């Protein structure tokens, strides 16, 4: 992998990640852009104790442009975009409309491919490995920034999820606090350690290996299963067999196998509701340990992949119980979901 750092016309950082070490990146962004100004702030809810990002400037962000005006495509044929080069492998750059900025964190965009009409599942294993390298590199770089407590790499795919840009891309958030979801996990891990002396993540994985009925994929280095108490109709958790706290801890064997396992999972999701229908909307989310929180060494890196589609043509909406009380009601039995995902295997 070769990484080349540059700046966009408004001062934002942009990084090219290339498969070839001899790739040269010298194109300059000459757009007449004003410096980015944001009104991002973090407010703490006194009743729940969690944090809310207030980012009213995001009302003006680009929304569902036609393919010919996509800001994530390369700059070609006289049209300039957020990416000055005429082609690229993987690109990461600071979001022009960030949810978190300045003293309140950082938001980055990750473009997986220059092909506007592709999806992550269309990538080959070499390109997927490069995306993993980029996620890992950005996790390491953002971990070194003052005030960053946690890094979250994720992808939202599909209009039903709410994406504003159709180009295959993800995001990376660097939070100045430990997120509520992670704080709950750390609390459960601590309680489990105190009551049993064991590691909660290890015990969860061991149970799934023993029972097998919710297991979806088993590799030499990775395991994928539907969780016992899945929140979403089709939800898979992907764990490396050797527990590590974040992406930086993956060894070469785990990094080498990841592309094959992850691409197979994504392709199974796309086959769940028939190959002739619209692509399956999903969220893919890396759960990484906070950098300074107690219990970091007990945390287990894992990827959560889920769809809000519960059956063909029907979505799972977060209604009263879910949105009002955070009590999920799942329409699909986890064991049935796992069985369908096993049946959707590539031939």
Q: Report, as residue numbers or ranges, the catalytic residues.
A: 169
Bridge partner residues of 16 (DSSP): 4, 91
Q: Give the bridge partners for 151, in sequence order.
A: 174
Count the Cβ atoms, other than its own, within 10 Å of residue 45. Answer: 10
Contact partners, residue 188, CB within 8 Å, separation at least 6 = 200
Q: Are 265 and 217 in contact (CB under 8 A)?
A: yes
Listing DSSP states for 121-178 in one string gives GGS-HHHHHHHHHHHHHHHHHHHTSTT--EEEEEEEESTTTT-S--SSEEEEEEESS-
Nearest residue to 245 via CA among 318, 300, 194, 302: 300
Cα angle value 273/287/137 (rounded, 5°) = 105
Quote the strand ranges of the chain, DSSP E: 2-7, 13-18, 41-44, 51-54, 90-94, 106-111, 150-157, 169-175, 215-218, 222-225, 234-240, 282-287, 302-307, 309-311, 314-315
- Whole-number CA gyration radius for the chain: 20
Instruction: Name the DSSP letter for residue 104.
Output: G
Distance, CA of 95 to CA of 265 (rounded, Å): 28
| Gap between the Cα atoms of 298 and 209, Å rounded | 20
- The C-alpha atoms of residue 276 and residue 313 are separated, in whole angstroms, by 12
């Amino acid at each position: 992998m070769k990484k080349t750092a540059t700046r966009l016309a408004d001062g934002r950082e942009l990084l090219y990640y290339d498969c070839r070490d001899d790739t040269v990146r010298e194109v300059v962004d000459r757009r007449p852009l004003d410096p980015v100004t944001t009104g991002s702030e973090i407010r703490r809810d006194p009743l729940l104790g969690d944090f809310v990002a207030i980012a009213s400037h995001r009302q003006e962000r680009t929304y569902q442009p036609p393919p010919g005006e996509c800001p994530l495509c390369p700059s070609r044929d006289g049209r300039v975009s957020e990416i000055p080069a005429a082609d690229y492998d993987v690109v990461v750059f600071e979001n022009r409309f960030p949810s978190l900025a300045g003293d309140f964190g950082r938001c980055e965009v990750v473009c997986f491919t220059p092909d506007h009409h592709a999806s992550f599942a269309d990538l080959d294993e070499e390109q997927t490995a490069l995306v993993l390298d980029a996620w890992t590199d950005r996790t390491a770089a953002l971990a070194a920034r003052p005030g960053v407590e946690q890094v979250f790499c994720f992808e939202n795919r599909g209009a039903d999820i709410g994406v504003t840009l159709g180009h295959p891309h993800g995001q990376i958030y660097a939070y100045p606090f430990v997120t509520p979801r992670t704080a709950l996990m750390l609390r459960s891990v601590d309680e489990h350690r105190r009551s049993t002396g064991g590691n909660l993540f290890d015990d969860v994985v061991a149970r799934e290996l023993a029972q097998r009925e919710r297991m979806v994929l088993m590799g030499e280095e990775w395991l994928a299963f539907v969780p016992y108490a899945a929140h979403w109709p089709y939800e898979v958790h992907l764990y490396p067999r050797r527990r590590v706290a974040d992406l930086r801890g993956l060894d070469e064997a785990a990094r080498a196998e990841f592309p094959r396992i992850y691409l197979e999972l994504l392709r199974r999701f796309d086959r769940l509701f028939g190959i002739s229908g619209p692509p399956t909307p999903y969220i893919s989310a890396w759960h990484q340990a906070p950098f300074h929180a107690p219990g970091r060494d007990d945390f287990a890196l894992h990827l959560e992949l889920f769809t809000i589609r519960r059956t063909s043509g029907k979505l799972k909406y977060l209604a009263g119980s879910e949105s009002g009380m955070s009590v999920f009601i799942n329409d699909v039995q986890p064991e049935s979901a796992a069985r369908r995902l096993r049946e959707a295997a590539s031939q």
